[in-house]
Amino acid sequence: MTSPANLRYSLDHEWINIDGEEATIGITQYAADQLGSIVFVELPEEGDSFESGEVYGEVESVKSVSELLIPVGGEIIAINEALEDAPETINDDPYGAGWLVRVRVEDSGDFDDLIDNAAYDASIA
């Protein structure tokens, strides 16, 4: 499995699509596969702020409950409300319709801690 080259990654299995001062965040295909069938997602409220590395939500699958760690600090500007009724979208399309949150990034230096797809793929090999 090769992760998309246009994204950045955290070692906590989250992908980040950077667009200026905003970032869209989701979990990787590897994480979705490890979790199994996702049945519930708990996401923050729009307007909530988090520091890089803080817990911002949870993903529950038939196997376990996993905390979501935000890879970049900032304010939540959008959440994927469609996941409330269809959390399995994360399993089906983790890099597209299964995105979790959009963040207005406070410190672009947080991007320095992210890795490219080759480094991420090597970390899960």
Average pLDDT over residues 48-52: 97
Contacts 24+ apart (CB under 8 A), 92-97: 94/15, 94/26, 94/27, 94/28, 94/29, 94/31, 94/32, 95/4, 95/7, 95/15, 95/26, 95/29
For each of the domains in the chain, give its residue range(s) and CATH number, in order of start: 8-124 (2.40.50.100)
pTM above 0.75, yes or no: yes
pLDDT at 40: 97
Q: What is the share, in percent, of the chain residues with pLDDT greater than 70?
A: 99
Give the Cα separation of 125 and 111 in Å (integer). Answer: 23
> Is residue 15 predicted with pLDDT exceeding 90?
yes
pLDDT at 29: 97
pLDDT at 71: 96
> Is residue 1 predicted with pLDDT exceeding 80?
no
How confident is the model over 73-120, as pLDDT tens digits? 999 999 999 999 999 999 999 999 999 999 999 998 999 999 999 999
Query: How does the average pLDDT of the chain come out, rounded?
Result: 96
> Is residue 30 predicted with pLDDT exceeding 90?
yes
> Is residue 2 predicted with pLDDT exceeding 90?
no
